[in-house]
Structure 1
Amino acid sequence: MLLGHGRLPRVLAGGALVVFAALWLTPFVWALATSFQQEQDVASPGLNPIKGALTLESYRTILDRGNIPVWAFNSVLIATLVTVLTVAVSTLAAYGLSRGTFRGRRLLLAVTVSSIMVPPQLLIVPLFQQMLALDLVDTYWAVILPQVVAPMMVFILKRFFDAIPRELEEAARIDGASELRVFWSIVLPLSRPIVAAVSVFVFIGAWNNFLWPFIVTNDPDLMTLPVGLATVKDAYGVVYAQNMAGALLAAAPLILVFLFFQRRIVKSVATTGLGGT
């Protein structure tokens, strides 16, 4: 749009996109190359990302020292449950804030928006005390429940629900539909793009969450993949090839999720104004 129309502007725009894509992929390619090398080759000086023979030694070390299948299962289970519960709670809360007429709605909305600015680290101590009081420490629910409350997702969904024409809901109510029926049959089908985008964002956040699962779990069989990989240490200090291999193992599922849902994410951002919220 800035360069105008024609062949030359398209070529310039395409070239700029290629340059930005190359800059974005450079760290990933470097990490991938590092993970397939021996440690002595990685530590040798030089800017060449591949300095020696390629090997799977780093991956074999991580798989031998760590319980990758159990940690991966825990991550999938926790991220899936967090996503399902967060979307369920956030959609209902957002619909109530968007369509509700109860007393204190504005105050509740203000509290929801202001809670977005609260750093999660400030809540670690009270949340841990609460998990202790409920005897949930070292359980799946201790990792899952604190992540279900997502004010940002409530606000995003509320903004989308505000844009849905109320005439559609009024027509359904005239036909005898209850409030829950209107929400389930009218609002949610119209909100599939934003719900899909929120689900992907919540899943990625739950999968990458390291601090809270690290604090609230001590049992190795309950660790998530990021926490479990952090426990696989070497006695000789920092091992770059092994660290890169662990990071790529943890990121691989997220890359697959993004590839499968890329069009849905882009469509939701383009059609719902998510990028401006």
Structure 2
Amino acid sequence: MAEPFWLSLRKQFTPIHLLGHAVLFGVGLVLLYPLIFMILAGFYDKNEFMTTVLRVIPIPEEPTLANYRALILGSKDAAVSTYMTNSLIRTAYNTFWALLTSFLAGYVFARLKFKGREQLFLIMLATQMIPGTLAIIPTYLEFARFPFAGGNYIFTGGTGILNTWWVYLIGGPAINIMGTFLVKQSLEKVPIELDEAAIVDGAGTLRIIFQILLPLQLPIMAFIAITTALGTWNDFITPFFYTNSDKLQTLPSAITRISSVGASPGAVINYPLIITLSLGITVPAMLIFFFFQKYIVQGLANTGIKG
């Protein structure tokens, strides 16, 4: 005789289980609180926000949708469509080059034999230990002295490629060292006999790379794409330090510039708009991570790395 439904339900929801769910709910609520605060703060007018003592759950007396309209349509304070477009273009461009260079570099270090291969790979890994902030000034000088650009001749005068799209097009693509390491580790687990069998069947190098080895690395490539996209989407340093035109800003750098507008005595900074634009950065990144987190775990698992 089948067990009654209420009895099986009672066995599942024991006091220990209920306590565990309560703890998880409380921890989840604490972690989600900043997001809840940002959503509610977006309904404030800037004057009410500055004159109101905020409660734990900020609820405005006169809610407004102006900040969310600005996030979607833009406003006189923020050309959001331009910032969003720049962010999307940079993210797609950098992600494409990260995938291409990571896979090809990983293939070179995993499959090709040449003198100094291991030493070169170790040098590449060692560069990961250098803090990124140390490269800001050298990179700025490199862009400013870029030959035959922005009035420069050779290493003198002019502005180089500063404040142009070339900052993104030249400064963005690079060998993704972490991605190269993961692809190398994964390819080394693929038997070399697979390549040899393909050669016997008449396959060339490009066919082996893109039709045989690449499909085996899709979890790794998904991991590289997700992490690169998130890193580029949240990048603040590149547009803030190397550009000053409003037409070249991305969302992270634009928020900083908006927060400094009206910083003169007596001016009211539009914090609700800044918080709402920050929400526009946060939510896409959260959705990407939420829907593709399994690829992150699977990509790392396929390299044989255990965390």
Quickly name the TM-score band, shorter chain normalised: 0.7 to 0.9
Alignment partner of 1:156: what SS?
helix
TM-score by length of 1: 0.85
1:249 to 258, 280, 285: 280
Structure 1 stretch 261-270 or stretch 201-210: which is displaced more?
261-270
The alpha carbon displacement at 1:113 in A equals 0.9
Structure 1 residue 21 corresponds to structure 2 residue 28: yes
1:181 aligned partner: 207
1:69 aligned partner: 81
In percent, how many aligned pairs have the same letter?
28
1:3 aligned partner: none
Q: What is the one-letter code of the residue matched to 1:131?
A: F
CA distance in structure 2 between the partners assigned to 1:86 and 1:46 by the alignment: 44
Gaps of 5+ in 2: 1-10, 150-160
User: Which is bigger in relative contact order (C-alpha 8 A, separation at least 6)?
Assistant: 1
Alignment partner of 1:148: what SS?
coil
Higher Rg: 2
The alpha carbon displacement at 1:26 in A equals 1.6
Q: CA RMSD in A?
A: 2.7
Check 1:189–1:274 CA distance in 2 against 1; reply closer, same or farther (3 A cut): same
Check 1:20–1:144 CA distance in 2 against 1; reply closer, same or farther (3 A cut): farther
Structure 1 residue 202 corresponds to structure 2 residue 228: yes
1:215 aligned partner: 241
2:59 to 50, 61, 73: 50
Q: What is the one-letter code of the residue matched to 2:104?
A: L
1:147 to 172, 179, 184: 172
CA distance in structure 1 between the partners assigned to 2:31 and 2:165 by the alignment: 35
Gaps of 5+ in 1: 1-5
1:49-107 Cα shifts (integer Å, max 9, x gaps): 32534322434567321111111111111110111011101111111111221111111
For the Cα contact (< 8 Å) 1:38–1:54, is it kept in 2? yes
For the Cα contact (< 8 Å) 1:71–1:221, is it kept in 2? yes
Structure 1 stretch 19-28 or stretch 46-55: which is displaced more?
46-55
Check 1:119–1:53 CA distance in 2 against 1; reply closer, same or farther (3 A cut): same
Structure 1 stretch 31-40 or stretch 57-66: which is displaced more?
57-66
Q: How many residues align?
A: 271
TM-score by length of 2: 0.78
Q: What is the one-letter code of the residue matched to 1:77?
A: I
The structure in which a higher percent of residues are helix is 1
CA distance in structure 2 between the partners assigned to 1:139 and 1:110 by the alignment: 34
For the Cα contact (< 8 Å) 1:35–1:244, is it kept in 2? yes
Structure 1 stretch 83-92 or stretch 22-31: which is displaced more?
22-31
1:191 to 202, 213, 217: 217
